[in-house]
A and B are shown apart, each in its own frame.
Chain A
């Protein structure tokens, strides 16, 4: 067993994990943050994306022990301090960027990582960045729109309906 301590959404947490425990399992099963989802086992769907030390990673493809000492942020830590939806979350609701909601936590975490790196992405840049996040419901149209809107761009001109 390995002792791990990390900061998750600003709170110090610790636990004992097996070598094989994935970060996604630690978050979901050990500290009950079930917003992070697991949709595949080949590191492709991206439902499990969280931020580790500020970078987007697939938490199902990282050992919990590797995150010892890290700052982790999950979907549960994305809302504003007063509990209201953050700009990205609000844009997803405003533009119907989600349907079943299962891929959504990963999408929001990836969107946040993208906008940190590229505050005004083009449509193509958004699509390219989302290569590691699969959505089966939306056809991505409204996800792309939501992310561009969250970046402050006028999406009425790029997205014909």
Chain B
């Protein structure tokens, strides 16, 4: 019998009721009496010098309160970067200023130059057209390799070049890797591009700033995955507002996928302008604006080499990557191509020597930062593509080649500085072959052939590092933040519980799963537990939700706080039953004295805590509320085997995804329904990257894919039903729930599986195509087949 309550139950999501009835409260649903509307005037050229801005006509337009430009932000800090990477030579990265509004130069299409605030949005937009902005266009820096050549135009005049950093990892291995590659039996080489993507949560970003002069308090309502991080970055580094005077609220948030982690200029602007104008100020992004102002993802150009011996044992891996930073450093941008990418280059394999070189480059494009998976999809894509290519070159079955190189003993320390605690990669591979009906593939392939179609099957086996931690380690690696999580468990007098978590839910269902965990620990109904998140005035300082960390880190904090609650409650129960504390057991919401029929209910204990008439006041305080901060000992390492089956129409090059199967090891699972949903959503984004999505610029820096007319979002009819399984379980060894994180896996493992499947189909059809860069549009596939 599946459980219907607590850990392991597919509890229906409580948040759904409000979302299904139109009662959700998203940031754009918030309207404060007297609010004014901000319209951002953005650069329509990629690179240029601002000669002057004349706002006088615009300020005279109806309804206009003020036009803001960079001069209004003198004395205000730039948008900070939260991670400093040290390069191969021990030098810190080049870190340009990122002003709230462009100072002197514009550096990408969409770079904000001025903001018109007016009584209505229509008036603000009308007035924006009366703004006179004189810009001299400069040559756009677009291609990363060109950007690094001598004499290239510079995105930032005050930096020595367009190179942010040249990172080597592990630098000490460099020569050993070169030697191993030079002496190997066979080296497979692959050059590829990991296409630039736009995260595209369906809710565009919104910010509403409010200021109360009476108590000098600022409030920012914003579409954020981590309100405390915004409060810290914006308060301390940009606006100089002490945290006790700044409240950041992220209410219902309509998806994030990374793009809503970062601190953006619009948040700082609305907070600043609300005080300047003594009016609430609201900004709502249009989708078109989102394409040129939300941080983008991926955009790596890589050459990877894999050296093998005669049996196909992996001897060494060498990679050379150019990673696009865009025009400025977004909050976590420097960490993505380095610590979230280089550390994963071992994958699931025992490769003893690895060297990763990453050159991060400034270009006249929108800043690039984490997007679902963040660095790990880039690592997995290179590795799983090169392994597939190697299998073909070596004449070894790609599944067999992977198995020959799988890590089988744990813990396993990779040559790229991480230690995998658990895993069973053969088990997930076996499970995949079972659930994808791999043995029936040849029959299906023959049917396709009879219909004039080419069928292919592709596999990828991924590993990811989630729940990024511990704080002291990431500090050494350059993080300017801690990466713990917090929880306060407040038990009310009648036994109901409010949990205040530093994690943030924007689709993940924390309100349901977190309640399941606490309810299970105490043995009460889930309905007794409420989860509160997203408001810095309510929750303890927390780091928010990204990197598949919420349950592994935030859930662990909640477990620790609940353990403290139970320990105290046990003391109270012991007192009430006049028994020794050591003899008290908690089960199904009842405290019992071991070996007796004496018991006291949870609600009686909690009532005693708040009505302490009969209470051990000499030993413990009244009340029942505890906070815990949890800083993990290590990352968690989910892994899994993904299989994709495609059919290619050889006449048009169109790829149809017929089936996608995912066998994941997420460790223990709290809510299977939600875990499956996370995987399905991740798969759709990964398939989107591999087949449809492409954020493209032209040579002049104009964004070509600037709306849904050209940026292909996956639709229902682009995708199949998915087959997902999480029955392979090797629990995480170092967190109390034994959980690993499931939010990004789908987006990490699916692109290489899909591309491998298409290459397989083409090869079976007699086309010697070795690689096609994503997205595998009909045009590209047909061109590769006929080129």
A/B: CB atoms within 8 Å of each other = yes
A116 at the interface (CB under 8 A from B): no
- The minimal Cβ–Cβ distance linking B184 to chain A, given in whole angstroms, is 40
- The minimal Cβ–Cβ distance linking A134 to chain B, given in whole angstroms, is 5
In the complex the two chains form, is B684's CB within 8 Å of A138's CB? yes
Q: Which of A82-115 contact B (CB under 8 A)?
A: 85, 89, 92-94, 96, 98-105, 108
Residues of chain B within 8 A (CB-CB) of A29 are 31
In whole angstroms, how far apart are the Cα atoms of A143 and B28 in the complex? Answer: 25
| A39-B203, A101-B252, A130-B717 as given contacts; A160 in contact with B723, CB under 8 Å | yes
In the complex the two chains form, is A96's CB within 8 Å of B200's CB? no
- The minimal Cβ–Cβ distance linking B366 to chain A, given in whole angstroms, is 18
In the complex the two chains form, is B22's CB within 8 Å of A99's CB? no
In the complex the two chains form, is B708's CB within 8 Å of A85's CB? no
In whole angstroms, how far apart are the Cα atoms of A92 and B724 in the complex? Answer: 19
B26 at the interface (CB under 8 A from A): yes
In the complex the two chains form, is A93's CB within 8 Å of B17's CB? yes
Residues of chain A within 8 A (CB-CB) of B673 are 96
- The minimal Cβ–Cβ distance linking B413 to chain A, given in whole angstroms, is 35
Q: Which of B711-770 contact A (CB under 8 A)?
A: 713-717, 719, 721-725, 746
B507 at the interface (CB under 8 A from A): yes
Residues of chain A within 8 A (CB-CB) of B713 are 44-45, 134, 136
B29 at the interface (CB under 8 A from A): yes
Interface centre among A40, A42, A130, A136 (most CB of B within 10 A): A136
Interface centre among A76, A130, A142, A161 (most CB of B within 10 A): A161
- The minimal Cβ–Cβ distance linking A71 to chain B, given in whole angstroms, is 17
B333 at the interface (CB under 8 A from A): no
In the complex the two chains form, is A143's CB within 8 Å of B721's CB? no
A3 at the interface (CB under 8 A from B): no
B20 at the interface (CB under 8 A from A): yes
In whole angstroms, how far apart are the Cα atoms of A140 and B23 in the complex? Answer: 22
Contact of B719 among A74, A92, A108, A140 (CB under 8 A): A140
A139 at the interface (CB under 8 A from B): yes
A52 at the interface (CB under 8 A from B): no
In the complex the two chains form, is B21's CB within 8 Å of A79's CB? yes
In whole angstroms, how far apart are the Cα atoms of A85 and B676 in the complex? Answer: 24
Residues of chain A within 8 A (CB-CB) of B506 are 100
In whole angstroms, how far apart are the Cα atoms of A35 and B723 in the complex? Answer: 32
- The minimal Cβ–Cβ distance linking A126 to chain B, given in whole angstroms, is 7
Interface membership of chain B positions 201-237, coded 1 if the CB is closer than 8 angstroms to chain A and 0 otherwise: 1111000000000000000000000000000000000
In the complex the two chains form, is B716's CB within 8 Å of A126's CB? yes
| A134-B715, A141-B721 as given contacts; A161 in contact with B21, CB under 8 Å | no
Residues of chain A within 8 A (CB-CB) of B257 are 136
Residue on A nearest B672 in the bound complex, by CB: A161
In whole angstroms, how far apart are the Cα atoms of A153 and B762 in the complex? Answer: 38
B62 at the interface (CB under 8 A from A): no
- Give how many B residues have a beta carbon under 8 Å from the other chain's beta carbons: 61
| A96-B13, A99-B508, A136-B713 as given contacts; A40 in contact with B685, CB under 8 Å | no
In the complex the two chains form, is A105's CB within 8 Å of B286's CB? no
- The minimal Cβ–Cβ distance linking B124 to chain A, given in whole angstroms, is 14
B288 at the interface (CB under 8 A from A): yes
In the complex the two chains form, is B287's CB within 8 Å of A41's CB? yes
In whole angstroms, how far apart are the Cα atoms of A123 and B721 in the complex? Answer: 9
- The minimal Cβ–Cβ distance linking A105 to chain B, given in whole angstroms, is 6
Residue on B nearest A108 in the bound complex, by CB: B20
| A131-B715, A139-B683 as given contacts; A99 in contact with B201, CB under 8 Å | no
Interface SS of chain A = loop
In whole angstroms, how far apart are the Cα atoms of A74 and B187 in the complex? Answer: 60
Residues of chain B within 8 A (CB-CB) of A41 are 286-288, 707
B255 at the interface (CB under 8 A from A): yes
B12 at the interface (CB under 8 A from A): yes
Residue on A nearest B255 in the bound complex, by CB: A100
A56 at the interface (CB under 8 A from B): no
In the complex the two chains form, is A39's CB within 8 Å of B287's CB? yes
Residue on A nearest B684 in the bound complex, by CB: A139
Contact of B708 among A44, A105, A140 (CB under 8 A): A44
A47 at the interface (CB under 8 A from B): yes
Interface centre among A39, A130, A131 (most CB of B within 10 A): A39
Interface membership of chain B positions 500-516, coded 1 if the CB is closer than 8 angstroms to chain A and 0 otherwise: 00000011110000000
- The minimal Cβ–Cβ distance linking A60 to chain B, given in whole angstroms, is 10
A16 at the interface (CB under 8 A from B): no
Contact of B721 among A36, A40, A103, A160 (CB under 8 A): A160
B183 at the interface (CB under 8 A from A): no
B91 at the interface (CB under 8 A from A): no
In the complex the two chains form, is B204's CB within 8 Å of A39's CB? yes
Residue on A nearest B25 in the bound complex, by CB: A34
Residues of chain A within 8 A (CB-CB) of B200 are 136
In the complex the two chains form, is B16's CB within 8 Å of A42's CB? no
Interface membership of chain B positions 1-34, coded 1 if the CB is closer than 8 angstroms to chain A and 0 otherwise: 0000000000011011111111111101101000
A53 at the interface (CB under 8 A from B): no
Residues of chain B within 8 A (CB-CB) of A99 are 255, 507-509, 677, 681
In the complex the two chains form, is B21's CB within 8 Å of A138's CB? no
User: Would you mind naming 17 contact pairs between A and B with Cβ atoms under 8 Å apart?
Assistant: A34-B29, A35-B24, A38-B28, A79-B21, A85-B20, A93-B20, A99-B507, A100-B254, A101-B15, A105-B22, A108-B20, A128-B717, A137-B507, A140-B719, A160-B722, A161-B724, A161-B725
Q: Which 8 A-B pairs have the closest CB atoms?
A: A35-B22, A101-B19, A102-B254, A139-B684, A100-B507, A99-B507, A75-B22, A139-B680
Apart from A40-B707, A40-B708, A136-B200, what are 14 other A-B pairs with CB-CB below 8 Å? A34-B22, A37-B203, A76-B23, A78-B20, A79-B21, A89-B20, A99-B508, A100-B507, A103-B254, A127-B715, A134-B713, A136-B257, A139-B714, A159-B721
